Structure 1
Amino acid sequence: MDSRLNIIAGFKGGESYVKDLYVSLPFRVVSVGQRKSDKKQYQMIMSSSPGILDGDHYHLDVALEKGASLQLQSQSYQRLFNMKDKALQELNVTMEDETSFAYVPHPIVPHEDSNFKSKANVQIGKNSQIIISEIITCGRKHYGEVFKLKRFQNLMEIYHQNKLVVKDNVVIQPDMIPISSIGNLEQYTHQGTLIFYSTKENVDKNGLIETIVEVAAVHLEEMEVGVSAMEDNGFVVRALGHGGELMYNFFLHIQEILWSLE
């Protein structure tokens, strides 16, 4: 099934708002920011499908006009079902100047023989920031499906002024790359990546990294966490663990810290 989600966040009178929205099955988008007083937009992506099926092709297009702030949320864990061929997802984000975008979705659960590729392309403007993450689990562990997927790939590219500034490529293919070997996940069953990139000049990158390391220290017994600083105002958080919920809540905590930056 070819499915589309198009959303444009506008900015008027000091407030962000949904200027345009189009979805096709199985998508639905609802506002979840009624209790917020920061005049930013909070939207949740919902789905009538139990998960991503063989042959599905998701097209997600997000645009933020100058001054807009948009935080997308997911409804639940994303299941990748058994596939004979593959499924695809394309996320295109266009950010004008002075915008903020965040997308920290629930973990992905790949079922046996699933084959999924996700590609995200982000164009970020001046004085703007993006927070985006993914968590990949081993699958349905209680059903004995520990990394029995065919292949999983998530490719992330962020551009600023037509220059590639961030590229991250996560590939899990157990029949080619032993998942539990040294240098891969070893004894862990969950892997998470959170990317923060800002074109603002007043970002205290080192201070933010120190704060995240302090937050991570609370969970050292449950997770391994590392933060890699970029040359520009950005960093990548990597996490390894045994549970999706703990890692997801950890990423939500980081998002909360970064989202409040002015």
Structure 2
Amino acid sequence: MDSHLKITAGYKEGKSYVKDLYVTLPFRVVSVGQRKNDGKLYQMIMSSSPGILDGDHYHLDIALEKGSSLQLQSQSYQRLFNMKDKALQEMTISMQDDTSFAYVPHPVVPHEDSNFKSKAKIHIGNNSQIIISEIITCGRKHYGEVFKLKRFQNIMEIYHGDQLIVKDNVLIQPEVIPISSIGNLEEYTHQGTLIFYSTKENVDKTNLVEMMYKAAEAHHEEMEIGVSAMENDGFVIRALGHGGEIMYNFFLYVQEILWALE
């Protein structure tokens, strides 16, 4: 099933708002930040489907007009069901100048024989920032489905102007790439990636990276966490662990720190 979600965040009189919204089944979008007084927009993506099914093709188009700030939230863990063929997701994010966007979704749970490919293409304007993450689990561990998926791939590209600034490609294909081998997940069952990139002039990347290291040290008994600084104003956090909830809550904590930057 082809499913579409389109949302445009506008900015007027110091506040961000939903300027345009269009969804088809199974999507639904609801406001979740009514009690916040920071002038930013908070929306949750909901779904009437239990998960992504064979043949599904999701199209997510997100636009932020000049001055707006949008934080998207997910409803629950995203399940990828058994598939004979495959499912696809395409996300396009267009950010004008002076914008902020954040999306830290719940972990993805690939069931046995699932085959899923996701691609996100992001265009960021000047004086703007983006926070975006992904957590992939081993599957339904308590059902004995530890990395029994066919294939999972997530490609993320961030452009500033016409220049590709960031490209991240996560590929899990157990039949081709031994998942527990050295250089892959080894003994871990969960992998997480959080990318922060900013085109703001006043961002102290060095200080932020140090803050991320300190935050990671508090979770060193639960996860292995690494922070890689970019040449430009950004960094990537990689996390390995044995539980999705711990990793998800850590990413939410990181998002809270970064979202407050002005």
CA drift of 1:161 comes to 0.6
Aligned partner of 1:109: which letter? V
How far apart, in 2, do the equivalents of 1:161 and 1:220 lie? 38
Task: Establish whether residue 137 from structure 1 lines up as the match of residue 130 from structure 2.
Answer: no
* Aligned equivalent of 1:244: 244
* CA RMSD in angstroms, aligned pairs only: 0.3
Following TM superposition, by how much is the alpha carbon of 1:147 offset from its aligned partner in structure 2, in angstroms? 0.2
CA distance in 1, matches of 2:111, 2:206: 39
Q: What is aligned with 1:148?
A: 148
Cross-structure match for 2:4: 4
1:86 corresponds in structure 2 to: 86
- Counterpart residue type for residue 211 of structure 1: M
User: What TM-score results when the alignment is normalised by the length of structure 2?
Assistant: 1.00
What TM-score do the two structures reach when normalised by structure 1?
Answer: 1.00
* Deviation by residue 1:86-108 (Cα, 9 ceiling, x = unmatched): 00000000000000000000000
Aligned to 2:51: 51
3-state secondary structure, aligned to 1:8: strand
Deviations 1:180-228 (A, max 9, x none): 0000000000000000000001101111111111111111111000000
Aligned residues: 262
Which residue does the alignment assign to 2:16? 16
The code of the aligned residue for 1:123 comes to H
Alignment of 1:32 with 2:45, yes or no, is no
Q: Which amino acid aligns with 1:247?
A: M
1: CA distance between counterparts of 2:212 and 2:65?
Answer: 30
**1:33 alignment partner, SS class:** coil
Cross-structure match for 1:181: 181
Q: Which runs of 5+ in 1 are unaligned?
A: none
Q: Once superposed, which parts of structure 1, at least 4 consecutive aligned residues long, lie more than 3 Å away?
A: none
**Could you report, residue by residue, the CA deviation over 1:136-165 in whole angstroms, capped at 9, with x for unpaired residues?**
000000000000000000000000011000
Helix, strand or coil at the partner of 1:138: coil
Give the whole-Å Cα distance in 1 for the aligned partners of 2:157 and 2:215. Answer: 27
Specify the alignment match of 1:199 in structure 2: 199
Q: State how far apart, in whole Å, the 2-side matches of 1:153 and 1:36 are.
A: 35
Letter in 2 for 1:137: T
Partner SS state of residue 253, structure 2:
helix
Residue 159 of structure 2 corresponds to 159
CA distance in 2 between counterparts of 1:193 and 1:35 reads 29
Which residue of the partner structure matches residue 218 of structure 1? 218
- Higher mean alpha-carbon deviation, 240-249 vs 203-212, is at 203-212
Structure 2: tracts of 5 or more residues without a match: none
